[in-house]
Amino acid sequence: MNLVFLGPPGAGKGTVAAIAKEALGVPHISTGDLFRENIKNETPLGKEVKEIMAKGELVPDDVTVKMVKERLRNPDCKNGYILDGFPRTIYQADELEKFSKVDYAVNFELDSETIVKRLSGRRICKSTGKIYHIVSNPPKVEGIDDETGEPLIQRDDDKEEAIKHRLEVYDKQTAPLIDYYKKRGLLFNIDASASPEASLKKIEKLAK
């Protein structure tokens, strides 16, 4: 099943995708993670997108579409995929339609106050990408990843100024995708204030 996860930053798309990939047996493809990996490995793409991401801006469409198109060619996508954070513009959605057929766009709905709380408390393990929250999902030892023992970090774009900007970018460029997929009869709304497990149950029903 080919799924697109839509919704504002901080709505829990990445957290749900991380458990849904096991349940559905499809890869979790996060464009944000792919970019972060490139930054960590100091690739030419990483160098190109580093500043853009730190500011909370969107990476240019052509660069992003090319990366996703290549990733979907990977054999692990033969039974489907979860695209998390892509498409983020109407242009990207139009391009995606040209090379893959989306079965559902799962839209994670959440109010902006909760989004800011979630994002500002988010901490991640840089090497594994595992996501924590200082209040709702803390690590066993404060500031340390449970598995690797590495110090957790706060993403540059999870700092207050960048959060504000990312939400503005979301409203302007990404929110129109809700209508885009609704018109195509592919939209499936989820209350993102519920637990990741509750969201997963709803998504699993789609797969049946």
Task: Give contact residues for ligand AMP (rule: CB under 6 A).
Answer: 9, 30-32, 35, 52-53, 56-59, 64, 85-86, 88, 92, 157, 166
For ligand AMP, the nearest residue by Cβ is 32
**Does the active-site annotation cover 47?**
no
Report H helices in the chain: 13-24, 31-40, 44-55, 61-72, 90-99, 112-120, 160-169, 176-183, 196-207
Q: Which is nearer to ligand AMP, 7 or 203 (CB)?
A: 7
Q: Which is nearer to ligand AMP, 98 or 205 (CB)?
A: 98
Cα gap 153→14, rounded to integer Å: 16
Nearest Cα to Cα of residue 4 among 88, 63, 67, 65: 88
Q: Which is nearer to ligand AMP, 43 or 201 (CB)?
A: 43
**Does the active-site annotation cover 155?**
yes
Least CB distance to ligand AMP at residue 61 (A): 7
Q: Which is nearer to ligand AMP, 92 or 199 (CB)?
A: 92
With a CB cutoff of 8 Å and minimum separation 6, the contacts of 204 are 20, 23, 24
**Is residue 128 a contact partner of residue 30, using CB atoms and an 8 Å limit?**
no
**Does the active-site annotation cover 122?**
yes
Least CB distance to ligand AMP at residue 84 (A): 7
Q: Which is nearer to ligand AMP, 145 or 157 (CB)?
A: 157
Least CB distance to ligand AMP at residue 85 (A): 3
Residues written for the chain? 208
Least CB distance to ligand AMP at residue 173 (A): 9
Q: Is 204 helix (H, G, I), strand (E, B) or coil?
A: helix
Least CB distance to ligand AMP at residue 168 (A): 11
User: Can you tell me which residue has the tokens 């499936």?
Assistant: 188
Q: How far is CA 157 from the centre of its chain?
A: 14
Spot the catalytic one: 13, 36, 118, 130: 13
Cα gap 108→3, rounded to integer Å: 13
Spot the catalytic one: 36, 88, 118, 130: 88
**Is residue 100 a contact partner of residue 87, using CB atoms and an 8 Å limit?**
no
Spot the catalytic one: 36, 118, 122, 123: 122
- Enzyme catalytic residues: 13, 88, 122, 155, 166
